[in-house]
Amino acid sequence: MTHPTTVRRFGVALAALTLATTACTSSGGEAETQSNSAAPEDTAPAELVITPDDGSEQLEPNSPIQVTAEHGVITDVQVDQVVPTEAGVEGGEAAEDPLEMTGRLSEDETEWTSDWALTPGAEVVVTATAANAAGEETELVHEFTTLPATPGMKLELASNFPTSGDTVGVGMPVVINFDLPVTNKEQVENSMEVTAEQDIDGAWNWVSDQMAVFRTEEYWEPYQNVTVDLHLAGVEASEGVYGARNYQIDFEVGRELIATQHVPDHEMDITIDGEHERTIEVSNGMGTTRAYTTTTGTHVFMERYRHLTMDSATLGVPADSPGGYRVDVQYAIRTSNSGEFIHEADYNPNIGSANTSHGCTNMRSEDARWMFENILMGDILDTTGTDRQIEWNNGWGYWEKSWDEWLEGSVTGEPQTTDGSGTPGSVFGETE
């Protein structure tokens, strides 16, 4: 699809228009006579119309703003939103919002439509400016209020990975957890925009009604900054439930670290930026049961622990039963939600020679510590050689889906390019 034009400032367009109206002047007699006989330019003042109407009250937050111009072109649209500090108190303070309102300008520059919904419970001021062919400006201001979100029915961000300031690996997904279920997934999906210094296609998938995940077609290019703008304010996530506010997440993609292991070989190879860095002897799952089989597939390193108690009871096997265990380990990094970690296991004499663990990847303390100190959340572990495949929704096993399968899992069905050109569709749903 063709992405909309984002409108912020219009000075350059107006300057071009002014130059065009003055380019026919000349000091030559014949040219001067032709200029004097030309039809006079249209100097009718530009006329503006803004929707919603001036003075409207308690509008639904997911109401779009629309501006149209006649006898001229739109040169600027500013949308200011103020949220009162307390109900019933006059005045207020500007909403603490990291994201400004942007909009789409038609090709002929006579229609402008807001990209995003409005903040619930806000006093909104829309200031639009248009200019006629002579460069004369007309300004129109509309003021109105939006319906506040009902307590207990405000969609907010419960958690996210990564968080602002994180440096992550090239396989890092963007994981968004909401505090309430989302039924209008398309509107919410279209409110979440990912931009990066290196352009790449990506798409959102819904792991559950409260969890959305963005994954790129290929791994991120290393050494770049990524921004996630969550334009949630005013989006109707489900009937009567509106996004409470906007969020912005900034993180950095670091170097490319890829770990690979073929389980029967009892070793793991580490490359950084394509160069071999380290070979580590390991012991993987004994494979006597499915639970004790290391999973094959593309894993993404998740959370890590300096100290961790490994307890088979979390897998439904009591520690005091046959095959059960409870052991304290160091330098543990999670690779799935089904209990798999890489970790120190100096108690295992078979590291480098046999697979005797309960499914985890055991290492000697020195190697486990190196991994703990050098692995980033989002780094990749590719494992082969077992008959148990990691599920796409087990931990961050999202790379188990092909790109076509991942794209099919998007509610919009279209990729979102990280070049800042916008999301695939509208946040307004049927109200637009």
Which of 5-14, 35-44, 51-60 shows the lowest per-residue confidence on average (mean pLDDT)?
5-14
Average pLDDT over residues 70-76: 97
In angstroms, the CA 248 to CA 226 distance is 11
Within the chain, which residue ranges are assigned CATH 2.60.40.3780? 11-145
Question: Which residue would you say has higher pLDDT here, 20 or 154?
Answer: 154
* Predicted local distance difference test score (pLDDT) of residue 48: 98
Report pLDDT for 2.
Answer: 39
What's the CATH code, domain 257-375? 2.40.440.10
Q: What is the distance between the alpha carbons of residues 265 and 346, in angstroms, rounded to a whole number?
A: 19
Nearest to 156 by CA among 179, 127, 137: 179
Q: What is the CA radius of gyration of the chain?
A: 29
Listed in order, the ranges of the chain carrying CATH 2.60.40.3710 are 154-254+403-431
pLDDT value of residue 429: 76
How far apart, in whole angstroms, are the C-alpha atoms of residue 63 and residue 49? 16
The two tokens of residue 156 are 């907010």
pLDDT tops 70 at residue 195: yes
Active-site residue, 24 included? no
pLDDT digits (tens, 9 = 90+) for 17-38: 322 322 333 333 333 334 444 3
Domain with CATH 2.40.440.10 in the chain: 257-375
Q: Which residue has the tokens 């509107």?
A: 187
The 10s digit of each residue's pLDDT in 283-338 is 999 999 998 999 999 999 999 999 999 887 877 778 777 777 788 999 999 999 99
Confidence of residue 41 (pLDDT cuts 50, 70, 90): low
- Residue 311, pLDDT score: 81
Burial pattern 157-178, b for ≥16 Cβ within 10 A else e, equals beebbbeeebebbbbbbbbbeb
What pLDDT score does 334 carry?
A: 98
Q: Partners of 159 in the beta sheet?
A: 177
With b for 16 or more beta-carbon neighbours within 10 A and e for fewer, the 9-44 pattern comes to ebeeebeebeeeeeeeeeeeeeeeeeeeeeeeeeee
Q: Is the pLDDT of residue 111 over 70?
A: yes
Q: Residue 93: what pLDDT? A: 44
With 90 as the cut, is the pLDDT of residue 63 above it?
yes
Q: Is the pLDDT of residue 1 over 50?
A: no
Q: Looking at domain 11-145, which CATH architecture does it have? A: Sandwich (2.60)
Instruction: Return all residues near 127 (Cβ < 8 A) that are at least 6 apart.
Output: 76, 77, 78, 80, 139, 140, 141
Amino acid at residue number 41: E
Catalytic residue among 231, 299, 343, 358: 343
pLDDT higher than 70, residue 95: no
Asked if 119 and 81 count as a contact pair (C-beta separation under 8 A), the reply is yes
% of the chain with per-residue pLDDT over 70: 87
**pLDDT tens sequence across 391-424:** 999 999 999 999 999 999 999 999 999 999 999 9
What CATH number does domain 154-254+403-431 carry, 2.60.40.1120, 3.40.50.300, 2.130.10.10, 2.60.40.3710? 2.60.40.3710
Catalytic residue list contains 262: no
User: How confident is the model over 53-57, as a mean pLDDT?
Assistant: 97
The two three-digit tokens of residue 77, written as one number: 């649209």
pLDDT digits (tens, 9 = 90+) for 236-261: 999 999 999 999 999 999 999 999 99
The mean pLDDT value of the chain amounts to 88
